[in-house]
């Protein structure tokens, strides 16, 4: 994902439907938890191991002028897909693909071309996002989903992939499948100069480009993010900490996340770290009922609200 894009989410516009998953889904539960903020900080750190993505993000420079803005915009996009109505999700997805179409260049280590809309790159972003948010929900939130809810969560992950350029047929459908996906990807991952700069910008945001208070809070959350990373990533990147910190940070962060779970407190915290996210949460959890009490597919939504459909209707 690129820097802040100003996704076209209008919180005052009444929802047309329940989106792709609905308020009773595990996806809504996981993506509206305060642990989602930690999950997305983690996902960007993991994304950095893809040298092509690290090069694309670095070349756009937005991450270095506004690191928390990038976290905000990327998390907001994913949350619109997870809990927004289908019209907002299609609008955000089409805008993102348009922005990504301009992000092409050369990865400096391999000398190969990169494209932000490359299907494999988009799959990597998609999987790191959905996996990291669930990982932090399990470690620092209510814990593991039931077997039924987890199966549905990964099925929802496949559906959400239809909003990006990746092939939904390649999206893992189970925890074992997700493990295998990351294992299969491992041989192409590495830690470059761009990777290091990208990850450290989001884990240790400098006060010079971020509100000093937000930068300080983000730095205090970073040990929890590091505790979720597999050992090989920590060793390769040198973003690591000792076992005593790992052991101490987990119960501390669980207590903190529990204390900010009530919606009014959760939204106040989110307003500091990811302000664009708040309107998506409030629209889904506190807004008026949707115009239609339905859950739709991305294909149906695209046929109704995609640019081609809107242009054909003359709206």
Residue 116 contacts residue 100 (beta carbons within 8 Å): yes
**Residue range 1-30: mean pLDDT, rounded:** 81
pTM value?
0.93
Q: Say what the pLDDT of residue 72 is.
A: 82
Q: What band does 103 get if pLDDT is binned at 50, 70 and 90? A: confident
More confident residue, 73 or 18: 18
Q: What band does 307 get if pLDDT is binned at 50, 70 and 90? A: confident
**Residue range 81-89: mean pLDDT, rounded:** 96
> CA-CA distance, 314 to 310, in Å (whole number)?
6
> CA-CA distance, 168 to 275, in Å (whole number)?
30
Residue 126 pLDDT greater than 60, yes or no: yes
Q: Say what the pLDDT of residue 37 is.
A: 92
More confident residue, 103 or 180: 180
Residue 30 pLDDT greater than 50, yes or no: yes
In this structure, of 104-108, 170-174, 265-269, 300-304, the range with the lowest mean pLDDT score is: 104-108
More confident residue, 68 or 173: 173
Share of the chain above pLDDT 90, in %: 68
Residue 88 pLDDT greater than 50, yes or no: yes
Q: Say what the pLDDT of residue 71 is.
A: 76
**Residue range 151-170: mean pLDDT, rounded:** 96
Query: What ranges in the chain are assigned the alpha helix state H?
Result: 26-31, 35-47, 51-60, 62-65, 67-83, 86-100, 119-140, 147-161, 175-185, 193-203, 212-228, 231-237, 243-259, 263-273, 275-285, 298-305, 307-313
Q: Record the tokens describing residue 83, joined without a space.
A: 């809990």
Q: Say what the pLDDT of residue 312 is.
A: 64
Q: What band does 7 get if pLDDT is binned at 50, 70 and 90? A: low
Residue 310 pLDDT greater than 70, yes or no: no
Q: What's the mean per-residue pLDDT of the chain?
A: 90
Residue 1 pLDDT greater than 60, yes or no: no
Q: Say what the pLDDT of residue 4 is.
A: 40
**Residue range 37-44: mean pLDDT, rounded:** 93
């Amino acid at each position: 994902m690129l820097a802040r894009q100003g996704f076209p989410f209008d919180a005052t516009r009444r929802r047309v439907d329940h989106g792709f998953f609905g308020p009773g889904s595990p996806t809504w539960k996981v993506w509206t938890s305060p642990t989602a903020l930690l999950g997305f900080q983690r996902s960007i750190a993991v994304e950095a191991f893809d040298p092509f993505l690290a090069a694309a993000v670095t070349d756009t420079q937005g991450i270095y002028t506004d690191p928390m803005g990038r976290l905000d915009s990327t998390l907001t996009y994913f949350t619109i897909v997870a809990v927004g109505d289908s019209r907002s999700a299609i609008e955000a997805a089409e805008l993102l693909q348009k922005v990504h179409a301009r992000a092409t260049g050369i990865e400096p280590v391999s000398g190969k071309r990169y494209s932000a809309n490359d299907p494999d790159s988009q799959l990597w972003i998609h999987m790191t996002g959905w996996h990291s948010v669930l990982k932090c929900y399990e470690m620092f939130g209510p814990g593991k989903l039931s077997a039924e809810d987890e199966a549905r969560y990964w099925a929802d992950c496949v559906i959400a992939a239809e909003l990006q350029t990746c092939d939904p047929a390649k999206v893992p459908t189970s925890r074992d499948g997700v493990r295998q996906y990351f294992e299969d990807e491992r041989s192409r991952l590495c830690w470059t100069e761009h990777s290091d700069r990208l990850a450290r910008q989001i884990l240790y945001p400098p006060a010079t480009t971020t509100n000093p208070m937000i930068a300080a809070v983000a730095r205090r959350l970073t040990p929890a993010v590091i505790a979720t990373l597999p050992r090989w990533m920590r060793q390769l990147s040198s973003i690591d900490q000792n076992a005593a910190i790992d052991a101490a940070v987990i119960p501390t962060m669980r207590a903190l996340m529990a204390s900010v779970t009530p919606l009014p407190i959760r939204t106040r915290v989110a307003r500091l770290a990811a302000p664009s996210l708040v309107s998506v949460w409030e629209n889904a959890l506190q807004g008026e009922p949707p115009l239609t009490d339905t859950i739709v597919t991305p294909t149906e939504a695209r046929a109704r609200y995609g640019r081609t459909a809107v242009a054909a209707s003359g709206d």
